[in-house]
Structure 1
Amino acid sequence: MPNHPRQLFIFTDGEVKNTKEVLDLVKHHAHSHRCFSFGIGEGASTALITGMAREGSGHAQFITGTDRMQAKVMQSLRFALQPAVVNISVDWTLPDGITVDALSPPINVLFPGQRSLIYAQLKGESSGGSEGTVTVKYSLKDQPVTNQLHFCLKPTEETGLAVHYLAARTLIRSLEQQERLSGSDLFGIRKSIMDKMICFRNRIMKLSVQAGVSSVYTAFIAINKESRQIVKGPLLQRRVPAYWSLRIPNRPSLRGGGPGSDCESEEEHCRGSAGKSRVKSTSRLGKRRWSHKLDLLLQLVSLQKASGCWDLDATLADVFWEDGG
């Protein structure tokens, strides 16, 4: 019915041989329905699950291991019952001589509580303006919305490479997905399909090596600098302590005094051998307690999920129990 799109929930637990045909069918009917896909188990096709959600302006979920299906289905159901951001477009306004290449795949839909990152590469050199503008347009509840962001084209002195790595990773994942879609229908292999897959593979490997970001065709190896030989052996986990430069209020200095320390105000503790012994003992105790606090903090950080939240389970409760003790 018009203005009442169909909400389609699809569950699959295995490989599908005609992925491209399925995605084309979903895209053809995208004006009348939204597709929410669920991949059950390790054998579900990633290209199929994510592709149906992308072409059908829905949401993809993967249910593996001990995941509970009910929670993920309810999340998708909440998305289906609420208005979503659609008709998303990104436009760039740049000075003459500057071009832009989009590294992220286009965004079809965003549901309440979701966010998305867009990576793009600016090329060239401008002899005129030093500012660019990116305009994001979308529709929410049939109302058009426009947001603009102005940014400076001059790089800072210390930008680092973190964003470059993330952008390269996004482009690699996009190329990997395109390769899977190109090779999804291998019944009666055609030369054009194989040539396209080889082209994708070469681009992925070249970008992975240049950016230092792993892919399905590359991996990191360790090389001994002295012997120039590859280090072989099983992977081992090593816990590297973090050294923070923090001052603990209301505690003696770890160096046993000095301007501004607690020992300076307590003259009876800083004078004589007995006073020095007491200061040293208190400092060691404070150092051990602070080391314990750091261990608990690292445990808390390791339990945090990528979305920024924590699972309310026994492991998290143990961390707070030890902290309170």
Structure 2
Amino acid sequence: MPQCNLLSMPQVSQDGGFSCDHDWSMLVYYKNAYQPHLLRETGERSATGIMRDDLLMLNLFPEVPTNSYSSRNEIIFVIDRSGSMNGDKIQSARATLLLFLKSLPPGCLFNIVSFGSTFSLLFPKGSCAYSETTLREACQLQAAMDADMGGTEILAPFKDIYNKPPIPGYSRQILLITDGEVTNVDQVVQLVGRHAHETRLFSVGIGHGASTALVRGTARAGRGRSEMVVQQGLLQQKVMGLVNSMVQENIQGVTVACEVEPACRVTLVPKVPPVIFGGQHLILYARVPPATQVKKITVRGQLGTSPITMEEKHFTVVHDEAKSLHRLAARSQILQWQLDEEEGVAEDMVALSVASGVVCRHTALVGVDQDSGKPVPESPCQDTPMLGYLSRRCNSSGTQNAIFLGLKRKLLSAVGIRSGLSTNSCRQELEYRIMPRSLLARKPSAPRRTTLCISIRSIESFEEFRSKVEDDSQPPLDLMVVVSLQQFDGSWGLKDASHLTTVPLDVLSAANPAKGEAAWATALVLALLEMKFGEQREEWELLATKGHAFLAGCGEQPEELLVRARLTLESQ
């Protein structure tokens, strides 16, 4: 068994020095990236508890196809419909929802949850199979969706989702879109983390007012990814990038077996291995007595319809005075106890925390009132003023200092805002109403406010200013028309293809080399997407994947048919 020490670690040097006028980066490629890696760190024999025993750490990065398109997923779209989403935000969200709905693979499960002060579900009893009927119901909701649900209360809809157990054979994933902030971020993040082993969560924050703690915290706790979108014209691109990850194949039903001699109980952390998605790795810890010999570790799971098995018999022994792996295992165990809110583990948590030197909620620093001898209660959340609603007025008298909250300096300079600007012409000034954070949960009819005026030079109107600071433009209408005309199975009709390409129907019919009309029409629209909307590929890539699957199902060779379609369109 090889041993790991500092002398065997690689060293990197650079010839010719380095100039600090740019970033320095290095790419490291694994020789066998998908091979399980097992480490055994020796314990401190004079210590007690976990620090005395040996510690196993299994690193697993399974090979999951990154371009897969699986129907074995349950995807729940959670959208903020509070009053602050009014206007361009809800319009962008509606367009994004339509793109999302059209991109889902047939046979998957889906649902739409709208929330504000209350919440509602498209399918109250739970997610339904994606079919022509359910897609029609979802599109009806999408067309009528508005920002008319009051404040921002997200904990209740999340509880409703998590109270329903995942459907066997499907990986449940949540996509959250919000522009607001809530006061109970810790509760929401903890709830998401408690179910991370069975449900993955992605989140998108819209605009400057979106809470980064909520958006990034929930995605981190839910083992997903997050995006903060200020330019709403990028919303579709960002969201579809996340959806592309959500519809990939994944490894479900992961089990781990550890063969040791002499036979003894081996406790894994985490105790329930989570679903493994493409691009994600799995780290497991196990505590074994010093005299135990590890024969092999076997990991089994299900990738789509194919069972997979990975075995590892060789491991590297690590002698680390800092006992880094032991402390990582202790941290993982403590986090699991805290997320699961298990009862009767407080003493075990304290003992593990003290032995490993890893702080937990029971061993962290606590302030004590010297007079009463009691712990000092947590300070209430500060009622910090923040940006509320925005209005416009014109004023031609006096000069105001330019004060703009929530934007970086480079954005201010981009539109020519300076302190103390004056001009003889009529100035457009923006009025921000500053209100307590707690009032943002509900839209007051007449909030108290302090007016801050902003003088803007060389900008003729508020609309022009808004377009420069925050691009609220909608995606090209033509693309959304293409999206809306796609059928449930991923196809387009020939009449629709004629309308979109502006090529006469009889010309397209005469040039049809395919076995069916729908296949030819689909190839024409896919070719049109590549020719006209190439820069927006991330937005329609899943639509194209769905279209390719339809062509293959029709007995066609998709690439050959696409070449014929491109030649037909280029000749017109």
- If asked which structure has higher relative contact order (CA below 8 Å, sep 6+), I would say 2
Please give the TM-score of this superposition, normalised by the length of structure 1.
0.50
Please give the TM-score of this superposition, normalised by the length of structure 2.
0.30
